[in-house]
Chain A
Amino acid sequence: DGGITQSPKYLFRKEGQNVTLSCEQNLNHDAMYWYRQDPGQGLRLIYYSQIVNDFQKGDIAEGYSVSREKKESFPLTVTSGPAQKNPTAFYLCASRSGAGGTDTQYFGPGTRLTVL
């Protein structure tokens, strides 16, 4: 059964803690993306990766970090500190089919992060 999995579904973090959100895909897609969703704002791009060992900052990368050591996996770390304003949000991972940069994205089920 092909698709994108994200874990955990819900995550609670205390101030000062780093947390890592998992994203795994078995669709054999090269490109993967992380988005943040806030109410009434649509989705905003945090980071994306087109191939293993390469990734690019999106529109709101400050306060986040990623790695891409395997094609299937693209974890997102939400860091603590002044660069991270308010990380409470719904985080969505996506992967892109095809070689074209504007091809269809497929989304995981999301992780809801709450900072206490």
Chain B
Amino acid sequence: AQSVTQLDSHVSVSEGTPVLLRCNYSSSYSPSLFWYVQHPNKGLQLLLKYTSAATLVKGINGFEAEFKKSETSFHLTKPSAHMSDAAEYFCVVSDLPNKYIFGTGTRLKVLA
């Protein structure tokens, strides 16, 4: 059975410092993995996705994620946080048709 765990419900960083949002997954098959960002009262915007090509995936706005099968992780990183990155981030796993499992989200706060 597939599942996803976002290890931190809240993360605070200072502007200009690196961002790390952690995601572990469980899957019986070769999964598709996604990261989405949600600003308050808005829909989810796709940041990046992994679909069994390169293990290091580059996304929009300077974000990237690395698929590590041995650790069943798909952590999201950014070298330097910007104030506009403050939002909620969701990790999603899918290995069955039409079955997308969402993590409970990590709220990122960026301090000036």
Contacts and interface: CB of A to CB of B under 8 A. Distances in A.
Question: Are both chains from one complex?
Answer: yes
A96 B36 CA distance: 14
Nearest to B43: A107
Contact of A105 (B31, B41, B100): B100
Interface string B99-111: 1101111000000
B32 to A, nearest CB: 4
Query: Which of B31, B90, B94, B96 lies at the interface centre, i.e. has the most chain A CB atoms within 10 A of its CB?
Result: B94
Question: A-side binding surface: helix, strand, loop or mixed?
Answer: strand
Interface size class for chain A? 20 to 34
Contact of B43 (A56, A92, A102): A92
Those 6 A-B pairs whose CB atoms lie nearest each other, nearest first: A101-B97, A42-B102, A107-B43, A102-B94, A102-B32, A107-B44
Interface of A: 4, 6, 31, 33, 40-45, 48, 50, 56, 90, 92, 94, 96, 100-110, 112
Interface of B: 9, 31-32, 34, 36, 41-46, 49, 51, 90, 94-100, 102-105
